[in-house]
Amino acid sequence: MRTAENEQPKELYAKFNELYIQTRSKYLVQFRNGRYVTINKERSDHAVSLNDSMLKTHLAGELTYGIFNGGYFNKFITFDVDFNDHAMARWATLKLIDVLVREFNIPRKDIHVSLSGGKGYHVDLFFDKPLPVADVQAFYNRVMTEVGELPDGQIELRPTWTQGVKLPLGVHQRTGNRCWFVDNETLEPIESFDYLLDVEPIDTAIILDTIIKLTDEQEAEFEEIVKNTDTTVNIVDASKALQKARRILEAGRLTASNTRHNTTFTLACFFNSQGFEREEAVEAIMEILHNTPREYFSKGSTPEFWRKEAERLTKYVYEKDITLGNADKPIKIYKSEILAVLKCGTFRQKQLAYAMLVTSKRYGKVFYLTESTAMKMIGTKSKGTIQNAIKKLIDCGFIEYVRKGEVDRARSREKGRPCFKPNKYRLLIDQPYESEKSIETMGDKDVVDIAYLLCTEDEIKTYVKRREFENRWAR
């Protein structure tokens, strides 16, 4: 329900105090003429501490208040987008939001944008615990490096101890414009005070994970990892998160210092996309973390904490069904590839071969596959069926093991019993020619449908035994 301007609930004041107020002794007041005055109680015996009554005045539009940081810490960061031209301000704000989402893995729902009252915008991120000013400054610098050069304007860091920022939802005293929050995709105003009541802080680890600089030696090592990573897919992939997941999986460990939190979340999304059970996803993530040199983690970080966080984040990802990858993009299947599938033994084995083909096109020629995922792929509850099918696909040269039955020593010590790493496979079939017959599919059609779209019935019969054809393929 929308809250009227003269009906601000106490919950709204509480939310301002929770999210924004870092010191009550120093604050800004904007008067009717648009002039700002800094009030500092420590320098004036007549000054009054910032209080809820002032917030009421702010929301009523009678005066406008602003705040400073806590001197040594920030509870939030504001990117103050300041341009003379409103169209350029919109462009810069949308670019900033895109950088925060794509490059820094900030969930879009946690990016809160409001009108500045003039021609610009304020982009706010709130922290679940205060961060040192130096860390906030380092994060701001990283973000602005990714945003790049901005013509005819700037994006400034707010608040600091010397530069305050206006609180949202008030009225700009010079222009008379209400500083509403806006939709962070369209920048259309959300004309309701209630927006603030639903705002929740983000985990500060998301910020801290981005500000650790690598040594020259680490940079060289990671460049080598990237160079040697198999990212062979035959569809366009714009997802940097997916590329990051591939690099980590190929390296078998973290590829940057202090990125445990972001990596855990990214891999949880990846494994959910590939059909891993939640417990399997946690174990695969723990394998990556255990294989990472300890100096890549923050001081005091422990395997017990890694597992707790892996279980928490994976639970969140699976309950929200967050996926990562190309499941919403078409893939191209070639006739020679289907003919290679048709050569693979029984109908179940052909089904699994086709499922692996689709998986490789989405995630690269080298891919993970657990028995439970494989059972889902072909609709069976029999582990024996899967084991026989995989053996057949290896025997006929369709796939090969990249890793099989490898003991996870760290997990085994932790659990007190033998634990094994997920098997990895590589597709071995020949690369198709671009000129040969092909079809685009979302991967939702089964192997029979695709075979009939690319092959004649006589060609299918060449590779399919008579009884199997009658039971599974005949139309």
**359 and 268 within one domain:** no
Other beta carbons within 10 angstroms of residue 225's beta carbon come to 15
**CB-based contacts of 275: which residues, under 8 Å, 6+ apart?**
372, 373, 376, 377
Dihedral angle at the C-alpha atoms of 259, 265, 270, 273, nearest 10 degrees? -170
Does residue 368 sit within a domain? yes
Beta bridge mates, 389? none
Does residue 115 sit within a domain? yes
pLDDT of res. 216: 54
**Helix, strand, coil % (nearest 5) of the chain?**
45, 15, 40
**188 and 89 within one domain:** yes
pLDDT of 3 over the 60 cut: no
Vertex 332 angle, CA 327 and 335, to 5°: 140
**239 and 170 within one domain:** no
Helix (H) or strand (E) holding 104: none
User: Distances in Å between the alpha carbon of 8 and those of 11, 52, 178, 382?
Assistant: 8, 11, 15, 61
Which strands, in side-by-side order, build the sheet including 153-158? Answer: 153-158, 73-83, 121-132, 112-115, 181-182, 189-190
State the average pLDDT over residues 195-201: 94
* Average pLDDT taken over every residue of the chain: 83
**347 and 260 within one domain:** no
pLDDT of res. 231: 29
pLDDT of 89 over the 80 cut: yes
**367 and 275 within one domain:** no
Does residue 382 sit within a domain? yes
User: What share of the chain in percent tops pLDDT 90?
Assistant: 38
**16 and 129 within one domain:** yes
pLDDT of 46 over the 70 cut: yes
pLDDT band at 215 (very low <50, low <70, confident <90, very high): very low
Print burial letters for 50-70: b (CB count within 10 Å at least 16), e (below 16): beeebbeebbebeebbbbbbb
Does residue 342 sit within a domain? yes
Are the CB atoms for 140 and 77 separated by under 8 Å?
Answer: yes
**190 and 58 within one domain:** yes
Q: DSSP secondary-structure letter at 197? A: G
CATH number, domain of 456, equals 1.10.10
- Which residue would you say has higher pLDDT here, 273 or 195? 195
Model pLDDT for residues 106-155, shown as the tens digit of each residue = 999 999 999 999 889 999 999 998 888 888 888 998 888 888 878 778 89
Does residue 273 sit within a domain? yes
User: Distances in Å between the alpha carbon of 294 and those of 15, 104, 358, 427?
Assistant: 39, 23, 36, 34
**143 and 241 within one domain:** no
Question: What one-letter code names the amino acid at 103?
Answer: E
Domain that holds residue 388: 331-473
Model pLDDT for residues 56-81, shown as the tens digit of each residue = 999 999 999 999 988 778 999 999 99
**311 and 224 within one domain:** yes
**140 and 14 within one domain:** yes
Does residue 235 sit within a domain? yes
Are the CB atoms for 172 and 117 separated by under 8 Å?
Answer: yes
Other beta carbons within 10 angstroms of residue 402's beta carbon come to 15
**396 and 290 within one domain:** no
Helix (H) or strand (E) holding 441: strand 438-441
pLDDT of res. 225: 38
pLDDT of res. 236: 28
pLDDT of 235 over the 60 cut: no
Other beta carbons within 10 angstroms of residue 308's beta carbon come to 11
Listed residues 299, 320, 341: the one ending a domain = 320
Distance CA 21, CA 169 (A): 15
Does residue 153 sit within a domain? yes
- Which residue would you say has higher pLDDT here, 190 or 41? 190
Report how many domains make up the chain. 3
Model pLDDT for residues 421-473, shown as the tens digit of each residue = 667 888 999 889 888 999 988 767 889 999 999 999 999 999 999 999 998 89
Listed residues 183, 206, 229: the one ending a domain = 206
**CB-based contacts of 374: which residues, under 8 Å, 6+ apart?**
352, 355, 386, 389, 390
Does residue 291 sit within a domain? yes
Are the CB atoms for 221 and 310 separated by under 8 Å?
Answer: no
pLDDT of res. 325: 55
**337 and 316 within one domain:** no
Listed residues 206, 240, 265: the one ending a domain = 206
